[in-house]
Amino acid sequence: MAPSYNTMEMMICVAARYLEDGKTVAVGTGAPCAAAMLSQKTQSPNLVILFEAGGISPLLPQMPISVGDSRTFFRAVMAAGMTEMMTTCCRGLVDYAFLGGAQIDKYGNINSTVVGDYYKPKVRFPGSGGANDFASFCWRTMIMTVHSKSRFVEKCEFVTSPGFLTGAGHARPRGCRRAARTRSSRISPSWASTRRPSP
Protein backbone atom coordinates (compact mmCIF):
# COMPACT_ATOMS: atom_id res chain seq x y z
CA MET A 1 0.00 0.00 0.00
CA ALA A 2 1.37 3.40 -1.00
CA PRO A 3 1.85 5.98 1.76
CA SER A 4 -0.77 8.74 1.98
CA TYR A 5 1.90 11.45 2.21
CA ASN A 6 4.62 12.76 -0.06
CA THR A 7 8.33 13.33 0.61
CA MET A 8 7.96 17.03 1.39
CA GLU A 9 5.19 16.34 3.93
CA MET A 10 7.43 13.77 5.61
CA MET A 11 10.34 16.27 5.75
CA ILE A 12 8.04 18.91 7.28
CA CYS A 13 6.91 16.47 9.99
CA VAL A 14 10.45 15.38 10.82
CA ALA A 15 11.74 18.98 10.86
CA ALA A 16 8.89 20.03 13.18
CA ARG A 17 10.19 17.57 15.78
CA TYR A 18 13.53 19.38 15.98
CA LEU A 19 11.96 22.68 17.07
CA GLU A 20 11.94 22.62 20.86
CA ASP A 21 9.25 24.16 23.05
CA GLY A 22 10.22 27.56 24.43
CA LYS A 23 12.86 28.22 21.74
CA THR A 24 12.91 30.96 19.11
CA VAL A 25 13.01 30.31 15.36
CA ALA A 26 13.34 32.76 12.48
CA VAL A 27 11.65 31.29 9.43
CA GLY A 28 11.16 32.06 5.79
CA THR A 29 8.15 31.00 3.78
CA GLY A 30 7.32 27.59 2.38
CA ALA A 31 8.36 24.33 4.00
CA PRO A 32 10.30 25.88 6.94
CA CYS A 33 7.21 27.90 7.86
CA ALA A 34 5.00 24.82 7.56
CA ALA A 35 7.33 22.89 9.90
CA ALA A 36 7.31 25.72 12.46
CA MET A 37 3.49 25.92 12.29
CA LEU A 38 3.17 22.16 12.75
CA SER A 39 5.58 22.18 15.67
CA GLN A 40 3.71 25.05 17.36
CA LYS A 41 0.36 23.29 16.94
CA THR A 42 1.55 19.87 18.13
CA GLN A 43 4.59 19.51 20.38
CA SER A 44 5.91 23.04 20.98
CA PRO A 45 3.05 25.40 21.90
CA ASN A 46 5.53 27.92 23.34
CA LEU A 47 7.70 28.03 20.21
CA VAL A 48 8.35 31.67 19.30
CA ILE A 49 8.19 32.07 15.52
CA LEU A 50 9.78 35.21 14.07
CA PHE A 51 9.33 36.56 10.56
CA GLU A 52 11.74 38.84 8.73
CA ALA A 53 9.08 41.52 8.19
CA GLY A 54 8.43 41.82 11.93
CA GLY A 55 5.82 39.31 13.08
CA ILE A 56 6.88 38.02 16.50
CA SER A 57 5.24 34.90 17.93
CA PRO A 58 2.04 34.85 15.87
CA LEU A 59 -0.51 32.06 16.16
CA LEU A 60 -0.63 31.31 12.45
CA PRO A 61 -4.18 30.49 11.32
CA GLN A 62 -3.09 29.52 7.79
CA MET A 63 0.08 29.28 5.76
CA PRO A 64 1.29 32.81 4.89
CA ILE A 65 2.26 33.47 1.28
CA SER A 66 5.17 35.74 2.22
CA VAL A 67 7.09 36.95 5.28
CA GLY A 68 5.09 40.20 5.14
CA ASP A 69 1.66 38.56 4.83
CA SER A 70 -0.84 39.87 7.40
CA ARG A 71 -1.18 36.32 8.76
CA THR A 72 2.38 36.58 10.13
CA PHE A 73 1.02 39.17 12.59
CA PHE A 74 -2.15 37.27 13.62
CA ARG A 75 -2.37 37.30 17.44
CA ALA A 76 1.34 38.13 17.51
CA VAL A 77 3.07 39.26 20.67
CA MET A 78 4.49 42.16 18.70
CA ALA A 79 4.32 43.70 15.24
CA ALA A 80 7.89 44.94 14.84
CA GLY A 81 9.83 45.70 11.67
CA MET A 82 12.77 44.32 9.76
CA THR A 83 15.30 46.38 11.72
CA GLU A 84 14.08 44.96 15.03
CA MET A 85 14.14 41.41 13.64
CA MET A 86 17.70 41.61 12.36
CA THR A 87 18.87 43.35 15.54
CA THR A 88 17.30 40.56 17.60
CA CYS A 89 19.29 38.03 15.59
CA CYS A 90 22.51 40.05 15.88
CA ARG A 91 22.11 40.21 19.66
CA GLY A 92 22.08 36.41 19.82
CA LEU A 93 18.47 36.10 20.94
CA VAL A 94 17.29 33.69 18.23
CA ASP A 95 17.96 29.99 18.64
CA TYR A 96 17.26 28.73 15.10
CA ALA A 97 17.27 30.02 11.57
CA PHE A 98 15.15 27.73 9.42
CA LEU A 99 15.82 28.20 5.73
CA GLY A 100 15.51 26.66 2.30
CA GLY A 101 17.63 27.25 -0.78
CA ALA A 102 18.12 26.59 -4.47
CA GLN A 103 21.62 25.17 -3.89
CA ILE A 104 23.28 23.86 -0.73
CA ASP A 105 26.89 22.72 -0.69
CA LYS A 106 28.71 20.31 1.60
CA TYR A 107 29.80 23.16 3.91
CA GLY A 108 26.27 24.42 4.54
CA ASN A 109 26.54 27.45 2.24
CA ILE A 110 23.20 28.37 0.67
CA ASN A 111 22.55 29.87 -2.76
CA SER A 112 19.15 31.52 -3.20
CA THR A 113 20.32 34.18 -5.67
CA VAL A 114 21.55 32.95 -9.05
CA VAL A 115 22.76 29.96 -11.09
CA GLY A 116 25.29 30.82 -13.75
CA ASP A 117 26.93 34.18 -14.35
CA TYR A 118 25.53 36.81 -11.98
CA TYR A 119 24.93 39.35 -14.78
CA LYS A 120 23.65 36.83 -17.35
CA PRO A 121 22.25 34.02 -15.22
CA LYS A 122 20.71 30.75 -16.33
CA VAL A 123 18.25 31.19 -13.46
CA ARG A 124 17.71 34.09 -11.06
CA PHE A 125 16.04 33.34 -7.72
CA PRO A 126 14.36 35.76 -5.26
CA GLY A 127 17.61 36.40 -3.39
CA SER A 128 18.53 36.64 0.24
CA GLY A 129 15.76 38.61 1.87
CA GLY A 130 16.76 38.09 5.48
CA ALA A 131 18.33 34.66 4.98
CA ASN A 132 21.93 35.91 5.17
CA ASP A 133 21.29 37.67 8.48
CA PHE A 134 19.38 34.69 9.85
CA ALA A 135 22.08 32.18 8.83
CA SER A 136 24.88 34.42 10.07
CA PHE A 137 23.52 35.48 13.46
CA CYS A 138 21.17 32.81 14.79
CA TRP A 139 22.70 30.14 17.03
CA ARG A 140 21.82 27.22 14.76
CA THR A 141 20.75 26.98 11.15
CA MET A 142 18.39 24.30 9.86
CA ILE A 143 18.14 23.88 6.10
CA MET A 144 15.38 22.04 4.28
CA THR A 145 14.91 21.60 0.55
CA VAL A 146 13.82 19.08 -2.06
CA HIS A 147 16.36 16.29 -2.45
CA SER A 148 17.93 16.44 -5.91
CA LYS A 149 21.42 16.52 -7.39
CA SER A 150 20.84 20.03 -8.70
CA ARG A 151 20.17 21.30 -5.16
CA PHE A 152 22.93 19.48 -3.27
CA VAL A 153 26.06 20.59 -5.09
CA GLU A 154 29.81 20.32 -4.48
CA LYS A 155 30.13 24.12 -4.37
CA CYS A 156 27.46 26.81 -4.54
CA GLU A 157 27.76 29.02 -7.62
CA PHE A 158 26.87 32.01 -5.44
CA VAL A 159 26.92 32.14 -1.63
CA THR A 160 23.82 33.99 -0.46
CA SER A 161 23.97 32.74 3.14
CA PRO A 162 27.30 31.50 4.53
CA GLY A 163 27.76 28.17 6.19
CA PHE A 164 31.38 27.22 6.78
CA LEU A 165 32.49 28.80 3.48
CA THR A 166 35.34 26.52 2.28
CA GLY A 167 35.25 23.85 4.95
CA ALA A 168 36.57 22.55 8.24
CA GLY A 169 38.87 24.91 10.06
CA HIS A 170 37.79 27.83 7.92
CA ALA A 171 36.49 30.60 10.15
CA ARG A 172 33.15 32.08 9.34
CA PRO A 173 33.25 35.82 8.61
CA ARG A 174 33.75 38.02 11.67
CA GLY A 175 30.45 38.91 13.25
CA CYS A 176 28.80 35.66 12.15
CA ARG A 177 27.84 33.44 15.05
CA ARG A 178 27.94 29.69 15.05
CA ALA A 179 27.78 27.62 18.15
CA ALA A 180 27.77 24.02 19.24
CA ARG A 181 25.22 23.15 21.87
CA THR A 182 26.01 21.08 24.93
CA ARG A 183 23.79 20.29 27.90
CA SER A 184 25.27 23.07 30.01
CA SER A 185 26.09 25.85 27.56
CA ARG A 186 26.43 27.06 24.04
CA ILE A 187 30.04 27.07 23.00
CA SER A 188 30.93 29.80 20.52
CA PRO A 189 34.06 30.05 18.38
CA SER A 190 36.99 31.84 20.03
CA TRP A 191 36.30 35.15 18.26
CA ALA A 192 32.79 35.40 19.68
CA SER A 193 32.69 37.43 22.86
CA THR A 194 29.58 35.94 24.42
CA ARG A 195 28.79 32.65 26.06
CA ARG A 196 25.11 32.18 26.74
CA PRO A 197 24.06 29.54 29.29
CA SER A 198 21.31 27.14 28.40
CA PRO A 199 17.97 27.59 30.13
Helices 7-18 and 31-41 pack at an angle, to 10 degrees, of: 60
Contacts with 107 (C-beta within 8 Å, 6 or more apart), sequence order: 163, 164, 165, 166, 167, 170
Q: Is 183 helix (H, G, I), strand (E, B) or coil?
A: coil
* Cα(135)–Cα(162) distance, integer angstroms: 7
Q: Is 130 helix (H, G, I), strand (E, B) or coil?
A: coil
* 157 in active site: no
29: nearest Cα among 136, 175, 144, 106: 144
Q: Tell me how far the alpha carbon of residue 108 is from its chain's centroid.
A: 12
Q: How many residues does the chain have?
A: 199
Query: Pick the catalytic residue: 9, 20, 52, 157?
Result: 52
Give catalytic residues, as residue numbers: 52
